[in-house]
Amino acid sequence: MLIYNTLTKRKEEFIPINPPKVTMYMCGPTVYDYFHIGNARSFIMADIVRRYLQFKGFQVKLVINITDVDDKIIKKSNDEKKPAEEIAGFYSQAFFEDLERLKVKPADFYPKATLHLAEMIEVIKELESKGIAYNIDGNVFYDVSKFDTYGKLSGKNLDELEAGARVDVNEKKKNPLDFSLWKRAKEGEMCWDSPWGIGRPGWHIECSAMSTKHLGRSIDIHAGGNDLIFPHHENEIAQSEAAFEQKFVRYWMHFGFLNIQNEKMSKSLGNFFTARDVQQKYSAEAIRLFFAQTNYGGPLNFSDELLGAAQKGTEKIINFAERLEEEITKESSGNFYPNFDVKKFFGEFEKVMDDDFNTPQAVALIFDFIRSANKIISENDNIQKEFYLELKSFLKKTAEDILGIVHLDELKKPPMFFLENDLINLLINIRENLKKEKNYTMADLIRNKLHEMGIILQDSKTGTTFKRK
Ligand code: AMP
Ligand code: ZN
C-alpha cells in the first residue's frame, strides 16, 4: 500500500511501527461553532482512510482531539456572555451529532484539551529543561533556532520565514518565529496553575501532548487539513521531536481544501455552509460520494450542481441495490450462474485504493460494476440467487463498508432527504385535512402533482405513506 507523505513529498510504502496495529491522530475541531462542509471533507476522507486500513486487516486506533480552550472560544464566550465551558460543551455535542449524521464512524477516543493540562505542562517542562523553551513574564515560548530541522514538513527555511514573519509588538520574544507554549492569563479567561504562573496552553502543545498520551511518542499517521501543515504541524514536530528525541510521525496526510468559488471555505471569510445545512438538502451518502469523487489531497469546489449530481449517483446505487434485494428475497431461485468476474472488480478496487486511496477511481469502478451487472441481469433469465448475493457482497464491502456511499439496511427507510421528506409529509397531512373537509378536488390535485414528480402516495387504513417511483 502506498501513502503520500507530506514530509517526504512522495508516495511511500505503508509500513506501520507495530503491524497489524496502526496509530492514527487527526486534528479535530475547535468547538466554538457548528462545523462547515469544508471541515466535513477532512473528517469524511479520514474516515474512509481508516475504514480502508481496517479492511486491509490493520487494527487502527484513531484519536481525534477536541480543542476546547482557544481564543475563538473565549471570544464567543465574551460575546454571548456564557461560560467558555458551556460554549465548548454545546458545540462538542453538535460535532458528535454531525459526524453521526454524516455516517462517520466514531474515533476510538476524543481527548479534550482541558483534561490534559498536566500532560502539556510536562512536555513544556521537558523543553524548558533542555533549553528549548524560555519564559518571559509567565509567557513561555519555543525557541525555533534550537531545532535544526524546523521547516522540514512545510518545506520552508528559517531565513525566508523570518523575513515574512510579522512581529506583534506586545510579544516579547527572541525571534518572531518563536511560538507560544504557555500564555499568561488575561482577565476573565479560562486559566490553570503552572510552574510559570497562571495561564493557558498554546494550541500546538495540545496535540503533541494528547497524541503522545493516547498513542505513544511515535505514531503511524497524523492527519489534518492542508491549512494545518504550517505552522501547526511544523510546530508539533518541533515540540515532540525535541522533547522525546524520536521520530514523531511516520506518515503525514493532508486533505485538500474545499473551496467556494476557488477560495478556501472558512469561518473567518464567512463563505461557508454548515454541514447541518447542507444535509437538509443532500443525504450523507451523496455528500460522501461528492468528496470521494475527488482525490483527497487536491482542491475541490463546492457547488450545488456537483452535489446534485452526486445525489443522483447515490440514487443509481440505491436502485441497483433494490433490484438485487428484490431478487434475493424472492422465494424461488433460478439455476443459471452468469459468467461475470466479481473477483476481478474486487482486485481492481483494492489496486486503486492501495495506490494512496484513489477514491475517484474506486467510485468509477463501482459505477462500472453496476452498469455491467445491470446489463447481465437484463440480458439473462433464470439467474441463481447466489449470483445476486455475490453482487451484493461486492457492493456491501466497497460502497458501504469502505466508502459509506450507500447503506443497504436503510434502503427502504425514508429519512434520506430530510427536508424533502418533511415537505412531502406536510402535503400528506394537508391532503388528509382536505379529504375530511370533502375538498376532493384539492386532495386529488396534491396526489396527482406529487405523482408527476415521481412521488407515489399509498393510502391504507392506518394512514398515507409515500414511495419514490
Ligand atoms: P478547525 O475547526 O477550523 O480547526 O478545522 C477542523 C479540521 O477541518 C482541520 O483538520 C482543518 O484542517 C480542516 N479544514 C478546515 N477548513 C477546511 C476546508 N475548507 N476544506 C477542508 N478541510 C478544512
Ligand atoms: Zn493538531
- 45-60 pLDDT, tens digit per residue, is 999 999 999 999 999 9
pLDDT range class, residue 334, cuts 50, 70, 90: very high
Spatial strand order in the sheet of 258-260: 263-264, 258-260, 300-301
Contact 26, 224 (CB under 8 A): yes
Same domain for 33 and 97, yes or no, is yes
Ligand 1 shell residues, CB under 6 Å:
27, 29-30, 38-39, 41-42, 224-225, 227-228, 255, 257-258, 264-266
Q: Please give the pLDDT value at position 209.
A: 98
Report CA(248)–ligand 2 centroid distance (Å). Answer: 13
Q: What is the pLDDT of residues 104-129, one digit of tens each?
A: 999 999 999 999 999 999 999 999 99
Q: What is the pLDDT of residues 386-399, one digit of tens each?
A: 999 999 999 999 99
Examine the fold and report which residue of 264, 282, 317 is the final residue of a domain before the chain moves on.
264
What DSSP element (H or E) covers 61?
Answer: strand 59-64
Specify the CATH number for the domain of residue 370. 1.20.120
Q: Please give the pLDDT value at position 252.
A: 98
Same domain for 28 and 138, yes or no, is yes
Q: Does pLDDT of 422 surpass 80?
A: no
Ligand 1, atom 5, lies closest to the CA of 29
Ligand whose nearest atom lies closest to the CA of 255? 1
Same domain for 219 and 98, yes or no, is yes
Spatial strand order in the sheet of 21-26: 59-64, 21-26, 219-225, 249-255
Find the domain containing 444 and state its range.
416-468
- For residue 234, being part of any structural domain is answered with yes
Q: Does pLDDT of 469 surpass 90?
A: no
3-state DSSP: the chain helix, strand, coil percent, rounded to 5? 50, 15, 35
Same domain for 18 and 127, yes or no, is yes
Q: What is the pLDDT of residues 141-182, one digit of tens each?
A: 999 999 999 999 999 888 877 776 665 655 688 998 999 999
Nearest atom within ligand 1 for CA of residue 223: 10
Q: What is the pLDDT of residues 192-213, one digit of tens each?
A: 999 999 999 999 999 999 999 9
Mutate to test the pocket of ligand 1, among 39, 98, 253 (most ligand atoms within 8 A of CB): 39
pLDDT above 90: percentage of residues in the chain:
84
Q: Does pLDDT of 403 surpass 60?
A: yes
Examine the fold and report which residue of 264, 298, 333 is the final residue of a domain before the chain moves on.
264
Mutate to test the pocket of ligand 1, among 92, 227, 266 (most ligand atoms within 8 A of CB): 227
Ligand 1, atom 21, lies closest to the CA of 257
Query: Which residues are paired to 12 by β-bridges?
Result: 3
- Average model confidence (pLDDT) for the chain? 93
Nearest atom within ligand 1 for CA of residue 26: 10
Report CA(64)–ligand 2 centroid distance (Å). Answer: 9
Domain tally, the chain: 3
Same domain for 256 and 377, yes or no, is no
Ligand whose nearest atom lies closest to the CA of 236? 2
Same domain for 32 and 131, yes or no, is yes
pLDDT range class, residue 418, cuts 50, 70, 90: low
Same domain for 323 and 212, yes or no, is no
Reduced to 3 states, what is the DSSP secondary structure of residue 125?
helix
Q: What is the pLDDT of residues 58-116, one digit of tens each?
A: 999 999 999 999 989 999 999 999 999 999 999 999 999 999 999 999 999 999 999 99
Ligand whose nearest atom lies closest to the CA of 25? 2
Which DSSP category does 410 fall into? G
